[in-house]
Structure 1
Amino acid sequence: MILIPSPVSRSNQLDDNMIPLINIVFLMLIFFMMAGQLNSSNLIKIQPPTSQQQSVLEEHDAILLISAEGQLAVNDVLIEANKLTEHLKQKISESNDAQSFTLLVKTDATVPVTKLTTLLKQVRAAGILKVSLATQVHSARHD
């Protein structure tokens, strides 16, 4: 009696060829997830002023955005300039520690200093003592 092996199904052989391709795709996915950076975009489009000094951006409790047109946003919520103090007081009351509350100000480079000073007085009136101004690094280009 001669034993004849049963025919192997063709579908299993096709699936076996897909496994290395799936492995490569997953490896590429993991690589791009680790190598890429995702940055959140601001609600208001701003071009920050330049600075010669570099320092690490620390964690802040709130972010104040000031556009060239005078629009204000706190933590991606548009607000009116006359309601800035009340809005910041509310943010301070929501935080755990009012004494360590920090604010990051991202302003457009074209905002007049008088306007910025007025807004910073409102910030101080709200009770915020720790304020940082976000800038971008000045690149010395010789074209």
Structure 2
Amino acid sequence: MTELVPPPSTSGKGLLDRVEDALLPLINLVFLLLMFFIVAGQLTEQPLPELPGSTRSEQEQAPEADLIVTANGQWQVRGATLTETSLLPELPEPDAENPLKIAADQTLSMADLEHLLQLLEKGGYTEVLLLTEPEA
């Protein structure tokens, strides 16, 4: 009677030699990954950013807004309510390194915000920061 399945070819190697041959690529891969993470971990010397929910120091203060937009769409600079024609002269000069900080009420409509941003763009402002408050 003949066998249906031929015996596995061992090519003259013992079981231990075959296991070592199979583990060698895995060992190489683990070594390369280890080297990658060692090198990648030392590329930057900048400290890690603060995680959300971490305690803030008491010396830190929220940034002050250059422009406040109320819920009903009024624009305020240093406490004074301004119109479309008087807004741009009261704002600081456009500066790419110090963007204009805008604090808008969370109920402000997108149309009102878009109108304001178009007005600011016409006035030369290319960089603006929209300040938000985290939900408690």
Over alpha carbons, which structure has the higher Rg?
2
Q: Structure 2-normalised TM-score?
A: 0.47
Q: Structure 1-normalised TM-score?
A: 0.45
Q: Which has the higher strand share?
A: 1
Work out which structure has the larger RCO, using CA pairs closer than 8 Å and 6 or more positions apart in sequence: 1
